[in-house]
C-alpha cells in the first residue's frame, strides 16, 4: 500500500475493495452456485419469482454496482459538506454554491413537496446531481487543493463516473469493459485524494 495515502483514504480504499470483491462474488454466483447469495439473503419485498430469471440475475449483478456508485456519490457529498462547513460555516450553501445549482435544487425540493412521498432531507446537498457536485468542486476548487491533487484529473474521473452512473441508474447492464472501467475509476478517485 502506498505510504502517502492517509488513514482515512486507506479505510475508504479497503471498503471499496471489499465492495468490489462482493461484486466479483455475485458475478461468479451467476455461473456457479457458491452460496454467496444465501449468505446475503435479505427479506424479499415482493416475490422475486414473479420476474424472469434472466432479468433477476442481471438485477442482482447490477445491484452490486449500484451499491458502489451510491457509496462514491455520497462520499463525495460528505467530502464537500465537511470541507465547506469547515471553511465557511453553516451558510456555505448560500454563499459558495453556483446560482444555477441552487436554482435546480430549489426546483427539485419544491417538486418533491408536491408529491405524497416523504421529504428526503432538509440538506440541499442531497438534491444535487452528480454533475452539480462537479460544478461545486469547480467553483470552489481552491478549497479542495489540499485534498484533491488535480482539478483536471478530478474533472475527468468524475465526468466518466457520471457517464457510467446513467447506465447504473437507468437499470441497464454494464458490459465487461465498463465493469473494469468502473472499478478503475473508483480507484482513480480514491488515489486523487491526497
pTM value? 0.75
> What does the pLDDT look like over 60-114, one tens digit per residue?
889 889 999 999 999 999 999 999 999 999 999 999 999 999 999 999 999 999 9
Residue 109 is predicted with a pLDDT of 95
Judged against a pLDDT cut of 70, whether residue 37 lies above it is answered with no
Q: What is the pLDDT of residue 22?
A: 75
CA distances from 67 to 42, 48, 102 (A): 15, 20, 27
Spatial contact of 128 and 105, defined as CB atoms under 8 Å apart: yes
Q: How far apart are CA 89 and CA 87, in angstroms?
A: 6
pLDDT digits over 118-176, tens only? 999 999 999 999 999 999 999 999 999 999 999 999 999 999 999 999 999 898 899 99
Q: Report H helices in 1-114.
A: 7-29, 36-39, 53-88, 92-96, 99-113
DSSP structure class, residue 45: S
Which residue, chain included where needed, has cell 475527468? 156
- What are the distances in angstroms from CA 52 to CA 55, 86, 115, 116, 174? 5, 50, 32, 31, 19
For residue 38, pLDDT beyond 60: no
Q: How far apart are CA 83 and CA 146, in angstroms?
A: 11
The three three-digit cell numbers of residue 192, written as one number: 486523487
| pLDDT given at position 44 | 59
Amino acid at each position: 500500500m502506498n505510504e502517502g495515502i492517509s488513514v482515512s483514504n486507506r479505510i475508504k480504499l479497503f471498503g471499496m475493495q471489499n465492495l468490489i470483491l462482493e461484486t466479483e462474488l455475485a458475478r461468479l454466483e451467476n455461473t456457479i452456485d457458491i452460496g454467496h447469495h444465501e449468505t446475503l439473503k435479505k427479506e424479499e419485498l415482493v416475490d422475486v419469482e414473479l420476474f424472469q430469471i434472466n432479468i433477476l440475475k442481471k438485477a442482482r449483478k447490477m445491484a452490486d454496482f449500484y451499491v458502489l456508485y451510491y457509496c462514491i456519490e455520497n462520499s463525495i457529498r460528505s467530502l464537500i459538506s465537511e470541507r465547506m462547513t469547515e471553511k465557511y460555516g453553516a451558510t456555505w450553501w448560500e454563499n459558495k454554491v453556483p446560482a444555477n445549482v441552487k436554482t435546480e435544487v430549489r426546483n427539485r425540493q419544491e417538486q418533491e413537496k408536491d408529491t405524497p412521498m416523504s421529504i428526503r432531507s432538509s440538506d440541499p446537498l442531497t438534491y444535487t446531481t452528480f454533475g452539480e457536485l462537479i460544478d461545486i468542486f469547480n467553483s470552489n476548487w481552491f478549497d479542495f487543493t489540499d485534498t484533491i491533487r488535480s482539478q483536471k484529473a478530478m474533472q475527468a474521473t468524475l465526468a466518466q463516473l457520471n457517464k457510467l452512473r446513467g447506465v447504473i441508474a437507468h437499470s441497464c447492464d454494464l458490459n465487461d469493459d465498463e465493469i473494469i472501467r468502473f472499478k478503475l475509476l473508483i480507484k482513480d478517485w480514491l488515489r486523487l485524494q491526497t
